[in-house]
Every structure is written in structure tokens, then in C-alpha cells.
């Protein structure tokens, strides 16, 4: 899977996802830190990447309708420290068929994984 990590996702996660066989880049690596959400979204879509973020500006499923993009994961943990975020994302990428999330809207919480696909 081609993945883009937003600036609010730990950079250490890139190596973990690469080791799992994914093609990963990040907002940091591309010099997009501090850019507005539209620029980050446009870069992810232009590259055909699944965006992983904690930014609630991306949480409107009406705006980011499943099937209309390459995929997005919103991470919502009760205590979103860097280690907790990296650990939770790693565990779900190790256990789930993530390739099926392409073009989906995914919400990851402490206890749940919700996936909305195009009808």
C-alpha cells in the first residue's frame, strides 16, 4: 500500500510500515510541514497515497467520501502520545488486511476500527 504520514503521526512509524512492505512517505520528508490541509490532501491524492492523520479537519466523511479518494485513516486515541499512536497503528497494520482499505474512510480508536467503503 502507498501511504502518506501526516506531520502529527510519529516519524518512527515510517520504518515500521516499510518493514511490513508498504511504500511510505511523509509530510516531513516532502517539506510540507505547516502547509494547509488542502496542500497535504492534494499531495496524497496526486501520489495515490492512503493518508494517515490525527487531524480532525479530515474527519468529515461527507467531504472525504469513500470511493472519491485513495483512502484516509483518522487516528483518535484517548491518550495520543507518540508511542501510543505508533503502537496502535502498527498493531492494526500487522493484524488487518489493510490493502482492502484503499479508497476507504477508516477511523482507528483505542478499541475499535471502523471502515467505511464506497457503496
Read off the pLDDT of residues 9-67 as tens digits, 9 standing for 90 and up.
999 999 999 999 999 999 999 999 999 999 999 999 999 999 999 999 999 999 999 99
Looking at the 3D structure of the chain, how many domains does it have? 1
Read off the pLDDT of residues 86-117 as tens digits, 9 standing for 90 and up.
999 999 999 999 999 999 999 999 999 999 99
**Structural domain span for residue 101:** 2-116
Task: State the SS3 of the chain.
Answer: CEEEECCCCCCCHHHHHHHCCCEEEECCCCCCCCCCHHHHHHHHHHCCCEEEECCHHHCCCCCCCCCCCCCEEEEECCCCCHHHHHHHHHHHHHHCCHHHHCCCEEEEECCCEEEECCC
What band does 119 get if pLDDT is binned at 50, 70 and 90? confident
**Mean pLDDT over residues 59-85, rounded?**
96
Amino acid at each position: 500500500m502507498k501511504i502518506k504520514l501526516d506531520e502529527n503521526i510519529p516519524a518512527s512509524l515510517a520504518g515500521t510500515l516499510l518493514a511490513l512492505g508498504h511504500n511510505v512517505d511523509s509530510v516531513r520528508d516532502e517539506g510540507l510541514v505547516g502547509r494547509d490541509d488542502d496542500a497535504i490532501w492534494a499531495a496524497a491524492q496526486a501520489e495515490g497515497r492512503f493518508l494517515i492523520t490525527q487531524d480532525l479537519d479530515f474527519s468529515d466523511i461527507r467531504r472525504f467520501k469513500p470511493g472519491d479518494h485513495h483512502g484516509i485513516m483518522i487516528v483518535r486515541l484517548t491518550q495520543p502520545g507518540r508511542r501510543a499512536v505508533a503502537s496502535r497503528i502498527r498493531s492494526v497494520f500487522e493484524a488487518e488486511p489493510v490493502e482492502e482499505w484503499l479508497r476507504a474512510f477508516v477511523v482507528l480508536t483505542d478499541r475499535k476500527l471502523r471502515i467505511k467503503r464506497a457503496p
